Amino acid sequence: MTIETDFPYSQHTLNNGIKLVHRYTNSPVAHCGIMINAGTRDETKKENGIAHFIEHCIFKGTKHRKAFHILNRIDGVGGELNAYTTKEETCIYASFLNRYQERVLELFADIVFNSTFPEKEIEKEKVVVLDEINSYKDSPAEQIFDDFEQLIFDNHSLGSLILGKPKCVKSFHSDDIKTFIDKNYATNLMTIACVGAIDFDLWVRLCEKFFANVDKKISNRHRKPPKQYSPKTKVEQKDTYQAHAIMGSVAYDYNSKYKMTFSLLNNILGGGAMNSYLNMHIREKYGFTYSLESNYTPYSDTGVFTVYAGTNSKYIDKTLELIRKELEFLTAKPLSTKTILQYKQQLKGQLAIQYDSNQNEMLAMCKSVLNHNKIDTLRETYKQIDCITNEDLFQVAQDIFDPKRQSLICYLPK
């Protein structure tokens, strides 16, 4: 068990390989989550959508509880129980009053390791997920991001839809779910995180009470990396009022030494702030777009860079031209030291605000330990940002923003 006096996080690993991470806070509300390193990219083509489907079905009954008792266990004392699935992780988490720590950990252990996945409940949940898929199709501004990853990752599982294809979802049965769990839910691929007003040693004892008796299962899984990237273009007509477009390419994975540099560069280009280049030079100057942003999503062995724009169809060509100009500007010459210093301070402030949410911090802790077995404090992250030079940013811009690398997907109104 390791506790560092000048380090706010405490870590421990159970004998079966499950990792624990904790931060003490005086807040009356605690946040706890269990994250499993298994997601959409770990599915076969026939299993597409099963990781997300498990996220739904895991609350539908265990060896000890029916669905009502699971849902009422946390919500019944004023807490909130939730879950999500990504391309690489599945997470179950809860927010609750501190005195219910033991109740939450016991429930997590029960639903993760004792769920029975009754066929009757599975059939009901298929209807729910199919409705979720159909409602998602009504949101082109969301759907286009999945379509873009399908475009750039071609037939690789990273391009698969998290919600899955309707045909696959309709085919799922209890045995399919149990097979996926048996294949992917190894104890060394799990992390439990907590931010709350509970002593670390006591919290570890509670985790041992409910999780230490879980059989040790070690996975040496090696995910198949995507094929070599080549840019592609796709234009579709959709029954929409607006035109929607994404321009972008593959980028750095979350172990890359360039990850923080590109995070800063993306923030300058079109991150969440109103003073980003895209917002100031396109939205504010011309008023062409309501939605305009750039994003960077790192995965374990690759990453995705995107610029999204939603606009009236008569402005879409001009908007794409202006986006290209911003990318070309950042690859033409290094930014000034003064400009970079300003955006470094901005990124630091954004990170501090993000970590001011204990729930956000808990989920970030969980993912960091799951993938890196360590956590960088804000102070350490600030040092990484301070070390970024003009030349570092320029080199990364020339790499990722190269016009020859950019793929494009566009939805045009019929």
Residue 136 confidence class, pLDDT cut points 50, 70, 90: confident
pLDDT reading at 296 higher than 50 = yes
Residue 6 confidence class, pLDDT cut points 50, 70, 90: low
Q: Please check whether residue 1 is in contact with residue 149, taking contact to mean a CB–CB distance below 8 angstroms.
A: no
Residue 188 CA to residue 18 CA, distance in Å, equals 5
How far apart, in Å, are the Cα atoms of 262 and each of 160, 169, 295, 339, 379? Answer: 25, 37, 10, 16, 19
pLDDT, greater one: 4 or 174? 174
Model confidence pLDDT, tens digit, residues 231-247:
999 999 998 889 999 99
Compute the average pLDDT of residues 122-127. Answer: 96
E strands, 272-406, are 289-298, 303-311
pLDDT reading at 113 higher than 90 = yes
Compute the average pLDDT of residues 216-220. Answer: 94
pLDDT reading at 3 higher than 80 = no
User: In which residue ranges of the chain is CATH 3.30.830.10 found?
Assistant: 2-211, 233-413
Taking the CB of residue 217, how many other CB atoms lie within 10 A of it? 14
What is the pLDDT at residue 122?
Answer: 96
Single pTM value for the model: 0.93
pLDDT reading at 107 higher than 70 = yes
Model confidence pLDDT, tens digit, residues 11-25:
999 999 999 999 999
What is the pLDDT at residue 1?
Answer: 37
What is the pLDDT at residue 404?
Answer: 94
Residue 76 CA to residue 69 CA, distance in Å, equals 9
Model confidence pLDDT, tens digit, residues 52-104:
999 999 999 999 999 999 999 999 999 999 999 999 999 999 999 999 999 99
* Superfamily of segment(s) 233-413: Metalloenzyme, LuxS/M16 peptidase-like (3.30.830.10)
Residue 410 CA to residue 320 CA, distance in Å, equals 10
DSSP secondary structure letter of residue 189: G
Residue 23 CA to residue 8 CA, distance in Å, equals 6
Q: Please check whether residue 16 is in contact with residue 215, taking contact to mean a CB–CB distance below 8 angstroms.
A: yes
What is the pLDDT at residue 42?
Answer: 97
Q: Please check whether residue 198 is in contact with residue 99, taking contact to mean a CB–CB distance below 8 angstroms.
A: no
Residue 208 CA to residue 202 CA, distance in Å, equals 10
Model confidence pLDDT, tens digit, residues 148-199:
999 999 989 999 999 999 999 999 999 999 999 999 999 999 999 999 999 9
Mean per-residue pLDDT of the chain: 95
Model confidence pLDDT, tens digit, residues 308-340:
999 999 999 999 999 999 999 999 999 999 999
Choose among 387, 384, 276: nearest CA to 330.
Answer: 276
What is the pLDDT at residue 183?
Answer: 96
Q: CA torsion 10→350→381→340, rounded to 10°?
A: 180
Task: Tell me the CATH architecture of domain 2-211.
Answer: 2-Layer Sandwich (3.30)
What is the token pair recorded at 357?
A: 């949410």
Q: Which residues contact 394 (CB under 8 A, 6 or more apart)?
A: 331, 333, 334, 335
What is the pLDDT at residue 2?
Answer: 39
E strands, 154-221, are 190-196
